Amino acid sequence: MSVKSIFITLAVLSAAAIMSAGLSSCNDGKTYAQLLNEENHYVNNFLADQRVIGEVPADTVFETGPDAPYYRLNEDGSLYMQVLNPGTKGNKVKPGELIYFRYTRWNLSEYADGKLPLGEGNNTALGATWFRYGNYQLANTYKWGTGIQYPLSLLPVDCEVNIIIKSTDGPTDETADVIPYLYNITYRRPEL
């Protein structure tokens, strides 16, 4: 099974779990469909201030840097990525490989007037967070959802990206909140 197939399967399963929890029992009496519409609005509000390209380049050679565009990574528009540092060519991740990552994330429902809200994450913490690439049977990998790993299907391990992750591809314990986040993520292998 390809990485892309795993991502799609997990996204569908996450969405099905949310919908089975009750379509009308969501935040403030809003239906799940209403929450998804709000989530799309928040993402579109942020992307309106960015340059956006509707697909990944065929050769996966991305524009890079803080002024690079956001690339739509999938057909449903749940992931958009800006490549800040493309990493070292040939430094591809292997299935099941242990990957550490540091991140800061911003709640896009609070984005206003071109400014991000206060971020949160582990960029300033002592310890790094980890997953095993593609191994969603491990709780520590599964809990982060599919969006965190997606950039590594396109870029080397030592890349740095900004990635918008909608709730269906985000951390599994936050899926029902239906809040999109902008993540700044750097990946690395464990140091031996």
Residues 117-173 have pLDDT tens digits of 999 998 766 567 999 999 999 999 999 999 999 999 999 999 999 999 999 999 999
pTM: 0.84
Residue numbers of the domain that contains 90: 3-188
Domain count, the chain: 1
Residue 30 reports pLDDT greater than 50 = yes
Strands (E), 117-188: 120-121, 129-132, 160-165, 181-188
Estimate the share of the chain in helix, then strand, then coil, as percent rounded to the nearest 5: 30, 25, 45
Average pLDDT (99-104) is 95
pLDDT class of 27 with cuts at 50, 70, 90: low
Query: For position 123, what pLDDT does the model report?
Result: 79
Query: For position 191, what pLDDT does the model report?
Result: 78
DSSP at 189:
P
Q: Any idea what the CATH number is for the domain that residue 74 is in?
A: 3.10.50.40
